[in-house]
Amino acid sequence: MTVRDPLVMMDGATALVDAEEFRLGLGAMWETGSTAVKVASGVVPGAGTPLRVHQTGTASANLLLEAGHAVIQGTTSGTQGAYVATNDAQVTLTYLSAFPADAQPRKDIIVARINDKAYAGSLASFTVEVVKGTASGSPVDPALPASCIPLARINLPASATTVADAVIDDLRSYVCAVGGLTVCTSSTRPANVYTGFAIFETDKLRVMVWNGSAWAEPSKTIPSVSATVVATVGPTSGTTELDIVTAPAITADGSTPVKISVAWNSVTASAAGDVYEIHIKEGATQLQNTRIKLQATSAEAGGSTFVVVTPSAGSHTYKATIVRVNGTGTAQMAAGATQPITIAVEQFR
């Protein structure tokens, strides 16, 4: 290997850059590969379902291939560079008439392939091909040719005459430009990454970033929710817990803390010396309590309370309640448009 001529380099009227050098130069723009001059191969994300292989409208012996772009790293030579290949419209792939089913099941792979006679063979083309597997009681994937990417696996049943989506596995992986967001799943993360490399996991609906030693999730924001009550709550009844206000549900991620806050303007009691508690709860689970002792029937107690918790992943709904814990009377909480009772749930940093 040696230093190569850069893109768009001319010597007078003569271009110095050949096809290989052009591909190598463009490689600087694509997601990194297994070496500093190789790029990742895959489908370029786009509208619709780029380069998806699927059944025809009614399952038949043929398949359909959607339009799309692919980036395919040449693997015959270490400096072959990457090819950007395009299928510009939906096309029909001839399948079972060319590769009839056997008496036993088989696994075939549909690949997008670069043929470049400058390195091997006699063709110079981009093709979508069937790589036929070996029929067996326990079939396995066939070996793939050089300079290709897999698009789909056909789990072909014995003696099949049509192919339906149910037997097609989607094998597409995606690539993006350097600094972009690579689309994948939590089990198909790219292997060749650099610090700051970002991915979006479609199965987890989350962004992950490689921090130099591990995948980490950036700081997340759980949207804040709140609720207010503008009418008097109560009176309470004996020692029965009374709901005050309930916040809308939040969706937690299992690792981000949230702060639940409750504020009120006035609690009054019918009997002097009664003791009440304001609870923050999720369902029947008490998360926090604040105790109030009302020394006289004319006394009013305003206040606030909060708790910080790290809820499990999923939906959570929090509420505030009031209950008498000592005494004989009842209590009520005054509220109005300018003095509401409020509950708020927000991400805690």
What backbone phi and psi angles, to 5 degrees, belong to 21? -65, -35
pLDDT at 152: 98
Query: DSSP of 295-320, one letter per residue?
Result: -STT----EEEEEEE-PPSEEE--EE
Q: Please give the Cα distance from 228 to 246 (Å, whole number).
A: 8
- Single-letter amino acid code for the residue at 102: D
* Neighbour count for residue 281 (Cβ, 10 Å): 20
Sign of the CA dihedral running 283, 285, 290, 293: positive
pLDDT at 12: 59
Q: Please give the Cα distance from 100 to 158 (Å, whole number).
A: 10
The alpha carbon of residue 207 and the mean position of all alpha carbons in its chain are separated, in whole angstroms, by 6
Domain range list for the chain: 10-178, 225-347
DSSP 8-state assignment for residue 26: H
List Cα–Cα distances, 277 to 99, 289, 301, 324, in angstroms: 76, 6, 12, 6
CATH of the domain spanning 225-347, picked from 3.40.710.10, 1.20.1530.20, 2.60.120.40, 3.40.640.10: 2.60.120.40
Q: Please give the Cα distance from 221 to 56 (Å, whole number).
A: 43
pLDDT at 11: 58
| Bridge pairing between strands 274-282 and 91-93 | unpaired
Q: Tokens 């419209």 appear where?
A: 89
pLDDT at 15: 62
pLDDT at 5: 59
Q: Please give the Cα distance from 262 to 264 (Å, whole number).
A: 7
pLDDT at 311: 94
pLDDT at 89: 96
Contacts of 186 (CB under 8 A, 6+ apart): 201, 203, 204
Which stretches of the chain score pLDDT less than 50? 1
Contacts of 320 (CB under 8 A, 6+ apart): 243, 244, 245, 246, 262, 278, 279, 280, 281, 341, 343
Q: What is the pTM of this model?
A: 0.62
The alpha carbon of residue 140 and the mean position of all alpha carbons in its chain are separated, in whole angstroms, by 30
pLDDT at 220: 66
Render pLDDT for 113-137 as a digit per residue (tens, 0 to 9).
999 999 999 999 999 999 999 999 9
Q: Please give the Cα distance from 278 to 260 (Å, whole number).
A: 13
pLDDT at 297: 85
pLDDT at 129: 97
What backbone phi and psi angles, to 5 degrees, belong to 50? -60, 130
Q: How far apart are the first and last CA of the chain?
A: 51
As a dihedral over the C-alpha atoms of residue 278, residue 284, residue 287, residue 289, rounded to 10 degrees, the angle is: 20
